[in-house]
Copies of this chain bind each other. A is one copy, B any other.
């Protein structure tokens, strides 16, 4: 059996899982690959730590160094796996790997969100694998590239970030507030010490852009799309959602209409009956609507060393099989010539609005007048007494309206003296 020799840059949680799984499952992996997969080298920052891990894994034959060139210049290494994270250096490594005529595998969504279209022309037939970059172990990249290749993709709606989903699930099922749920997630290792990228929607935005490239060939950058996080979600919102048959999820949404696609990441209220509303805790789930297939959904672990390793290794096996000539796949989508990103002002959706108002006569009139002026009409309304000094909660949902209208209405609402806290809105799907 011939060998496929690989090198890894970065040897943290995912890297260790990749090596561990290659060793534990070597018989079945090599049989499926048709080659013996050998990890020759790892490049790390801390050599001592890497040696210790390799000893633990009984893999002391793997060479360790701190110099990326040791991998790039090793002519027997055919595949470079980038697992170090970050954007710029990782992109440099991608470039150098492809220039050295080696295949490139990455789990790095942030780098791909910014540089996927820079990498494509460098690949020139070399395999570029990135199954691990979106939703860890769920093979969603293959689903879009291969499984659903007959379809125009009408819509994607994904729970793409396990940390946010865990926090929202705790808030809904255990009536926790945001801060408590976040602390909980941090204690369990589901959220990092600095959780910004996860809870702000940034990480989900990176993943959405990768999916949108596969489905539509859309060249957008993170800055081009609407991204909102879950920091503003309160128990009041959860209560309203529950009362009206919704759950709140952070969704990455792509929707095609004609030759325009809207891309957005934000918390939103979705009907309890929808399959994706049932994806709880740290799990990820992605609903994909194709014009031929209809709705399908893909569910599984979106993070964690072993789940991510499952995807990294599936890319290695595909490369070993020679099934990967068109692996990057962005250039395969004809749509990129026709489809443009919809401006965020043009997003047409239903909204939930939360206002805390001074409990005085006439406030509701003021509010509904402003909404009406901006073509926003109310569909459901809930006003509850609050404990605190004459403040009333006004919670309502609207009929469909344009993002630009809701924004200008919010600008006016923000100036009403009787609204005692910044107005909050969330979209409904």
Contacts and interface: CB of A to CB of B under 8 A. Distances in A.
A170 interface: no
Given A150-B314, A151-B310, A310-B148, A334 B21 contact: no
A85 interface: no
Interface stretch (A91-99, A293-301, A387-395): A293-301
B149 A142 contact: no
A138 interface: yes
B34 A332 contact: yes
Interface string A18-36: 0001001101111111100
Contact of A294 (B149, B152, B300, B313): B300
Interface stretch (A182-190, A225-233, A319-327, A399-407): A319-327
B332 A310 contact: no
B293 A137 contact: yes
A65 interface: no
B137 A294 contact: yes
Contact of A292 (B25, B27, B147, B321): B25
A149 B323 contact: no
Which of A278, A293, A311 counts the most chain B CB atoms within 10 A? A293
B309 A150 contact: yes
Given A292-B307, A325-B323, A147 B139 contact: yes
A420 interface: no
Contacts of A323: 146, 323-326
Interface in A262-294: 275, 278-279, 290-294
A150 B299 contact: no
A296 B300 contact: yes
Contact of A293 (B27, B146, B295, B310): B310
Interface string A130-169: 0100000111001100111111100000000000000000
Given A143-B139, A294-B137, A314 B149 contact: yes
A267 to B, nearest CB: 22
A5 interface: no
Nearest to A278: B278
A115 B149 CA distance: 28
B147 A29 contact: no
Stoichiometry, as copies per complex, reads 2
A78 interface: no
B146 A142 contact: yes
Nearest to A326: B321
B326 A150 contact: no
A318 interface: yes
Contact of A296 (B147, B298, B313, B324): B298
Given A137-B294, A306-B294, A310-B292, A318 B25 contact: no
B25 A150 contact: yes
Contacts of A21: 150, 292
A318 B147 CA distance: 9
A40 B417 CA distance: 72
18 contacts: A17-B292, A21-B292, A29-B149, A31-B332, A32-B334, A34-B332, A138-B296, A139-B148, A142-B143, A142-B146, A147-B314, A150-B317, A275-B278, A275-B279, A293-B301, A297-B297, A321-B325, A323-B326
Given A149-B317, A150-B313, A295-B300, 15 more contacts: A17-B292, A25-B152, A28-B334, A28-B335, A32-B334, A33-B149, A137-B290, A137-B296, A139-B146, A142-B142, A148-B314, A149-B318, A150-B312, A150-B317, A292-B310
